[in-house]
Amino acid sequence: MLAGAAAAPLLFSTSGGTPQGSAPVLVKRTLLRLPAASAVAQGGGVAYVTDDLRDLLLRFDPATGRVQGSVHLAGRPTAMVLDAGRLWVADMVDNQVVEVDPRTLHVVRSVTVPTGPSSLAVLGANVWVTSVIANEITSIDVRSGAVGTPVEVPGGAVRVAAGFGALWISGTSDMLTFFVPASAQVRAPRLEGITVGNGPIGVATGAGSVWVANAQGGTLSQVDPHSLRVLRTLRVGGDPLSLAVAGGHVYVGDGQAQTLRSPYPAPASKALGVGTTPRALLPVGGAVWVAGANPGRVLSVSGG
């Protein structure tokens, strides 16, 4: 079943038209310079970044930029999530998800997952990994490391976000998939496709909605998590690649222009040049952190 199959109108543009809401002034601060950054995480005053050029996981002090330690990983680290004192890294080359002790940076275990692990999210007692080549999503028990049976995602599995009691998966066929895994309360898993914009990649939850960055179409889709309908489509232009919601503001990273903007709730917001390709965004308090490549940077952007 396809929810929201009818195309939502383009309500406004971030590059012109009547301003709606006050336009935020964004300010950036460099936290760390490195050859490349593919993902970033933080907790307890310490930060972590994956460098997929050198296949490293680094721990650093975000206040000083001092690297406190690193560990070499066997393959290309493409995504990372930190939850309840457990750090998980997706390895695109070896088709594994690696658990690393965040205190010692020792590898606790590596588990094999379907081909092309590309994104991670935590829901319940599981880490969930999307596999972009296999078009599947797979659970990993956070305590035992046991891998569940992969679930095929017909609309494709590029990136995943958790929120509103469900997983939201951007796909390869202009689809966002709503997925509620089977549990003690849910007898059978529920998957439902929602037609969004052209080339969805980034996905995030917050500010009462699910948000999808449509890289090929240059748009941002706002999806109601209850009705599973596209509420509106914002034309942001360029190559919207990454997303995060922080402090009630939606941040969009443009891969080609190397910019960050906050088109919601203020569509008239100006783009901030970040000087790096914003591959991943992480909400940290009211700010957003940017993991960038070419050149490698970890930035903190605030003021949305």
- For the chain, the domains span 2-302
Give the model's pLDDT for residue 16. 35
In this structure, are residues 121 and 142 in contact, taking their beta carbons and an 8 Å threshold?
no
Q: What is the pLDDT of residue 227?
A: 98
Q: Tell me what pLDDT residue 15 has.
A: 36
Please state, in angstroms and as integers, the Cα–Cα distance from residue 86 to each residue in 30, 42, 142, 186, 292, following that order. Answer: 26, 11, 8, 26, 23
Average pLDDT, the chain: 91
pLDDT at position 19: 40
pLDDT at residue 23, rounded to an integer: 59
Per CATH, the number for 2-302 is 2.130.10.10
Q: What is residue 24's predicted lDDT score, i.e. its pLDDT?
A: 67
For strands 230-235 and 10-13, give the pairing.
parallel
At 238, is the secondary structure helix, strand, or coil?
A: coil
pLDDT beneath 50: ranges in the chain: 1-7, 9-21
Strands 2-3 vs 190-195: parallel, antiparallel or unpaired: parallel
Q: Which residues of 222-261 are buried (b: 16+ CB within 10 A; e: fewer)?
A: bbbbeebebebbbbbbbbbbbbbbbbebbbbbbbebbbbb
- The string of pLDDT tens digits covering residues 94-126 is 999 999 999 999 999 999 999 999 999 999 999
CA 240 to chain centre: 12
Looking at residue 269, what is its pLDDT?
A: 83
Q: How far apart are CA 254 and CA 45, in angstroms?
A: 28
- Tell me, what's the pLDDT at 188? 80
Read off φ and ψ for residue 131, nearest 5 degrees.
-120, 105
Are 76 and 91 in contact, with CB atoms under 8 Å apart? yes
What's residue 189's pLDDT?
84
